[in-house]
Every structure is written in C-alpha cells, then in structure tokens.
Amino acid sequence: MAEYEFIKLESQGGVATLTLNRPEKRNAISDALRSELIDALERVAQDRAIRALVLTGAGAGFCAGGDVAGMRDRMQAPAGEVAFNGWSRQQRVHHAVDLLFRMPKPTIAAVNGAAAGLGADTALSCDFVMASEAASFTWSYIARGLIPDGGGMYFLPRRVGLPRAKELIYSGRKVAADEALRLGIADRLAPADELLARARAWAAELAGGSPTALALSKSILDQSFELSAAQVFAMGSQAQGICYTSGEHRAAVGAFLEKTAQARRGREGGGS
C-alpha cells in the first residue's frame, strides 16, 4: 500500500484499515491529512482485492474534527478572499465525505475515542459505527460559531430522528458510548482492546457476499429515503440486470445446480 505522512493504510484478508495518524493533534483533519485521505479512499474504492474498509484513529482519540490552526489561518486571509477560500475548502471536505459515503464496499468506523465535529460526521459517513467504551461523540460546531459541514445534517437525522438531531446539534453536548448505542449513533460497542479486531471481523463478515450485488445494493439503499417506491423498484430492476451478468451470480447458480444434481444422483444410486 502507499506510504503517507498523516494516515496509515494497510490491508489483510481483503479488509483495509485506514488509520488517521496525527495522535498528537487527536487526529484533527488538516488540509494535508484531508488530501492524503482522499487519495487513500480513492485507492481503496478502485482496488478490487479490498472487500471492506475499517476507519479508525491513532492514539486516544478517533478524530477531533477540523484543525483549529487551519481555522486561524483561514481568518487571516484578506477579507475579500475568505468566502471563496472557504468555499474551495468545503469542496475538498465534501469530496472526502462523499468518497467514504459512496464507497462501493462495506465501511465501518471503529471509534476508539472522542469523535468531535467533523470527526463525528466522518464516523457517520461509514455504513456502520462500532465504538469502544472510551468513545464519545459531539457535534460541537456551534461552539465555534459553525454549522455541521461534514455531512452531519444529513447523516445524523437519519440515525437518530430529526428532533434528537436538532438537540445534539443545537447543544453541542457530548454523547458517551452507551448513550450513543441507545440513540443509534453507534451500532455496536466493543472493549477498547478488542475494538479493531472486532471491527475487522465484522467487516470481513459483511464483505463475504457478491461484491457486485453489494455495491449495487448499497448505492440504492443510500438514496432510498429521497426516492419514491417506484424509483427504487426501477433502480433495482436495472441493478438486477447487471447482477444477472456477473461472474459471482453465474458461479453461485452453477454451484447450486451442481449440488442439486449430486444430491439427486446420490438418491438414485441409493435406491438401486
């Protein structure tokens, strides 16, 4: 795998582990880290040998959100450039989030510690969240005079409902791991020393089926709240047409028919 300065990317048994690696900054996302993250996510998406992705953080925290030093630098730009610079940075933020959200394979955030602001949004960009007992979540943007710009206003209501999402975003309060599980922010809890192993095992389990069928199912499911039933059915018909031609489907049908034929021959042989 490629070498990076601010992240680590490794793969074993078809499961890639991407680790945000700025532990001295609680893995806060700087422009440099974001660029590496985008590159790594693109590599993972394109590598067919990788069947699933686990995202975690180095050290005690998962991700402290956006780098405050970057916020300071942004405010020091000439007044006439602040808005466009901010817009340009937002395009990169959303590109990284979108790559994770639309990854055509299962993704699990293994949240090992605090996930704050953009860090909490990044965790919810994954299909599933497994949290350690030391994990916490906070949409603390409001304390910086900001709104959740990393997908939180999209992902959080879909997990906890609109009123609860408003309460968490308006207050910016911290949610401990056990409450996160109750609210649906986290899907599973794990002891801190078993978090990564359990997340990888879950990822391998989720990735055991047809990559083609999984990628197509995910692409439709992720849009289903915004679509009508007729649209979902139509997209499903098109996706199924693709599945009919896939090597995985042909192999599965062939294996089933051969197994059936063997069983029939066994029954016929036993009766003679």
Mind listing the pLDDT tens digit for each residue in 201-246? 999 999 999 999 999 999 999 999 999 999 999 999 999 999 999 9
Q: Does residue 39 have an active-site annotation?
A: no
Q: Does 268 score more than 60 pLDDT?
A: yes
Which residues lie closer than 8 Å to 46 by C-beta, 6 or more apart? none
Q: How far apart are CA 124 and CA 177, in angstroms?
A: 14
pLDDT tens digits, one per residue of 250-263: 999 988 888 888 88
Q: Does domain 211-270 have CATH number 3.10.450?
A: no
Q: Kindly report, as residue ranges, where domains of CATH 1.10.12 are found in the chain.
A: 211-270
pLDDT band at 182 (very low <50, low <70, confident <90, very high): very high
Q: pTM, whole model, 2 decimals?
A: 0.91
pLDDT at 150 over 70: yes
Choose the catalytic residue: 94, 98, 187, 249.
Answer: 94
Instruction: Identify the residue with better confidence: 113 or 84.
Output: 113
- Mean pLDDT on 103-128: 98
d(CA 77, CA 73): 7
pLDDT at 133 over 90: yes
In the chain, where does the domain assigned CATH 3.90.226.10 lie? Answer: 7-206
Rounded to 10 deg, the angle between the 68-75 and 79-101 helix axes is 150
- 27-43 pLDDT per residue, tens: 999 999 999 999 999 99
Closest CA to 41 of 13, 1, 5, 68: 1
Determine whether 149 is an active site residue: yes
Q: In this predicted structure, what is the pLDDT of residue 89?
A: 82
Burial class (CB in 10 A: 0-12, 13-18, 19+), 65: buried
Instruction: Please state, for a pLDDT cut of 70, what percent of the chain lies above it.
Output: 94
* 41 contacts 96 by C-beta, under 8 angstroms: yes
Is 70 a residue whose pLDDT tops 80? Answer: no
Geometric angle at alpha carbon 262, from 256 and 263, rounded to 5°: 90
Least confident of 67-71, 124-128, 198-202, 236-240: 67-71
Query: Which class is domain 7-206?
Result: alpha beta
pLDDT score, position 262 = 81
What average pLDDT score do residues 140-161 get?
Answer: 95
The mean pLDDT of the chain is: 93
Instruction: Please give the pLDDT value at position 271.
Output: 46
The per-residue pLDDT for 272 is: 39
Tell me the pairing of strands 15-20 and 7-12: antiparallel
Q: Which of 67, 121, 127, 149 is catalytic?
A: 149
